[in-house]
Structure 1
C-alpha cells in the first residue's frame, strides 16, 4: 500500500513502534546538561548515582550471579512434591533473594501447574525486585531488615491464601519460550563487558574512598573534577548502552530488566542489570535534586508533614509492574525523601518484573495476587509508622 494512502492513525502507530522509548532517558539528560541552570545539578546527580550506587550494585550483582551459577536453585516443583508443607516458605525465600529471578521461577512454574497459588502470593509479597540490590549496596542493614520482614509476610500471606483458594483453578496460557528467554548478546554489550571487567576494581576503589567521606581533592590535585566528570560520563554511557541494546518500544522494555543473553553469562547479566538499575537510580537522584533545588521543596520535610499518606502512596506505586518505579522509591528513601514505613510498604506490594510473565500467562491470577500483596504492605507499612509514632 502506498504511504500516501495510509491513514494518519496507521502512520502514527507505525512511528510509535519504530521509536525507541529508552532513548528518552539520555535525551532528557542531554537537555538538562545543555541548560546552564540545571547543568551542575545534573552532573552532581550523575556522578553521585554512579559512584554511590552503580559501582556497588555491579560488584554485588556479579558476586550474586556467580554464586547462583555455582549453586543452582532447586527446582520448586520437585521441592513441592517432596516437601509440600514447606512449598510456600521456599517460594517466599526465592522471592526474598535480590532481583526478580526467584519470583519469575515461581510464577512460570505456577503457570505450568507445578506450584500452588499461595506460592505465587508468597513470592510476590517477599520480592523487592532489583531495588533490593540498590538497598543492599547503599544500606545493608535496612535491606536485610526489609527482606526479613518480607520473607515472614510472604510466608504467612501465602499460607493463608492457600487455605482460601485451595479449590480454585486458574486457566493459564502456554508459556512462550521466546518471551521468557533472552537473545544473543549484542556486540555493544560484549564490548561493554570487557570495559567493566578491567575498570571495576579501580571504580570500586574510588567508590570506597567516597563512601568513607574522603574528599578526592585531598588525594591529588584535580581528583574531584575527575570524579565529577568521570562519574557523569560513565553514568551516561551506561544509560546509552541500555538504550541502544534493545528497541521494543513498549513499557515493559523500559520498566523491567532484560532477559539473560545467550549463551548465559553471569558477567553479562550483571552488566545488563547494572545498566538498567543505573537508569532508574539516575532518574531518582535527578528528580530529588530538581524538586528540592528548583522548586525549593524539601521532600524530607514534606513527607514528614504528610507522613500518614506515604505508606499508602508507596504501596500503590508498588502495584505498577516492573522494577523501575520501585528503584525510584528506594532511591528517594536513600536520599532521605521517604520514611522507612513507606519503603517497607513499597517493598512488600511491588512484584518486580515477575508480574509481566504472570500478566501474559495468567491474567486473573496476576490481578488477584497483586491485590493480596497490597494487604500485608499496608498492614506492615502502617504498623511500622504507628510504632515509630508512639515510641
Structure 2
C-alpha cells in the first residue's frame, strides 16, 4: 500500500499512519476486490434472471434427486440457491438431507470473492463442498445418522419458532405446509420499498429515491472503472508483489488516476447504497437473494446492492487487518501455521457463524492477504450456511441448529484430511498470479 502523501506537519505520525490505512483501504478495497465481485455477481444474477423460478420447480419434481439438486442449488454463488430449499423443507416438500446438502454446498457471498480472486481454489474448494455435502445429505436421508438424537438434544435447548400460525415437526420428518410469500406475478416483492420499510433515521422523500437511482447508475460507472483498473493492477504484477504495480495517488486520465478515483468514489457510493440507497430503491434487506428478477434493471440493481454489502465488509476486513497489524504486530499467517491441524478445524467452527458478513472477511484474508491455508478455506466453505440459514431460523430454530451441526461435521473431516493429504500446502493456493 503506497501511503497518501499529505503536506508535512499536517498531522502527527500516529494520526498520519491511521489516515494512510483508512484512505488506502478505502481506495484499494473497491478496485482489488469489489470490481471483480460485482462482475461475478452480475453474471450469476443474469443467469437467475434468464431462468427465473425454474430451479424451484426442478427441486419439487425430482424426489430421489433432491439432495443432489439441493447441492447444485447451494453450489450457485451467493445464497439464493440454498434459500430456495428452506421454504420447501418447511412445507415438507423436500427432505432434511436436502437442506443439509444445500447449506453445506453454499459458500454465500464470500464465494464471489474466491471466484474472482482465486478461481482455481474456488473450483477445488466448492467442488469438495459439493461432493461432501451431497454425500452427507444422502446419508442422512438413507440412514438418519443420528438426526433423531440430535433433534432431541437440541429440543432441550430450544423450541421451534413459528410465524404465528404453524409449528414444524421433527427435523427428521420435515415440516408442514406454510403460506408462500409471493405475489400473483410469481415474484417476491417483500424487499421492495413501499414506504413502510424505511428505518427510523431516514425520512420519506421522493427526491431521495430519485437521487438514489442516480447514484446507483453512477456506481456502475465506478465499478466498470474499478474492474478495468483491477485487471491492469493484476497484469502489472501486483499478485507477485512487483512495486511498479502499486498505483500512486493522483487524479488524472491515467491508470493511477483511474485506480484512485474509481476506488475512492466507488467505495463511498457503496456505503451510501448499503446504508441509505437500498432503503429507497429496493433490496432493503441485502443478502436475501431471490430466485428471479422482475426486470433487467432490477437484476442490475440487485447486483449493485449485493456488491455494496460485500464492499462494506471488505473495507471492514481491510481495516481490522491493517490496524491489527499496526497496533499489535499481528501475523495471522504465522498464527495459522503454528496452529497446525487446528487451523482447518477453526475454519470449520468459524463457519457456524450465521450470515455472510464474517465469511466475506475470511475469504478476503485468504485471497488478498493469503493468511490461511487452503484446508481452512475448504472447511469454512462447507461449514458456513450463509444467509440461507435465516429463513429456517425464523420458522424452526431447532432445525436450523441441527442443520448447522450437520454441515460442520463433514467440514472438519474434509479440512483435516486436506491438512494431511493435500499436495498443495502453500499459502495462497489458487490465487491469481
| Shared fold (TM-score, shorter chain, > 0.5) | yes
The 10-residue stretch of structure 1 (220-229 or 370-379) with the greater mean CA deviation from structure 2:
220-229
Residue 310 (1) aligns with residue 343 (2): yes
d(CA) in 2 for partners of 1:61, 1:375: 29
Match of 1:181 in 2: 190
Are positions 1:88 and 2:99 aligned together?
no
Deviation at 1:376, TM superposition (A): 0.4
**Residue 5 of structure 1 corresponds to which residue in structure 2?**
none
Question: Structure 1 residue 43: deviation in Å?
Answer: 1.9
Aligned mate of 1:241, from 262, 266, 273: 273
The question of whether the paired residues in 2 share the 8 Å contact of 1:96 and 1:128 is answered with: yes
Aligned CA distance change for structure 1 residues 198 and 245 (closer, same or farther; 3 Å): closer
**SS of 1:174 mapped into structure 2:** coil
Aligned partner of 1:361 in structure 2 is 395
Provide structure 2 residue ranges, at least 5 long, that are not aligned to the other structure: 1-13, 149-169, 183-187, 195-208, 237-244, 426-433
2:233 aligned with 1:201: no
* Aligned alpha-carbon RMSD (Å): 3.1
Distance 1:117 1:48, change over 3 A: same
Task: Find out whether 1:155 has 2:189 as its counterpart.
Answer: no
- Residue 54 of structure 2 aligns to a residue in which SS? coil
Q: Which has the higher helix share?
A: 1
Residues 189 and 110 (structure 1), Cα distance of their counterparts in 2 relative to 1, 3 Å cut: farther
- 1:288-303 paired onto structure 2 within 5 Å: 288-303=321-336
Correspondence for 1:60 among 25, 37, 40:
40
Question: Does structure 1 conserve the Cα–Cα contact (< 8 Å) formed by 2:351 and 2:385?
Answer: yes
Structure 1 residues 358 and 189, CA gap change in structure 2 (3 angstroms): farther
- Once the two structures are superposed, residues 98-133 of structure 1 have per-residue CA deviations (whole angstroms, 9 ceiling, x without a partner) of 000000001111112211111000000100000001
- Name the CA distance, whole Å, in 2 between partners of 1:284 and 1:238: 15
Describe the superposition over 1:276-327 as per-residue Cα deviations: whole angstroms up to 9, x where unpaired. 1111111112222122233212211121112332222222221111100111
Match of 2:305 among 263, 272, 275: 272
Aligned length: 351
5+ long unaligned stretches in structure 1: 1-33, 248-252
SS in 1 for 2:92: coil
Q: In 2, distance between residues paired with 1:78 and 1:331? A: 34
In the superposition, the TM-score normalised over structure 1's length comes to 0.81
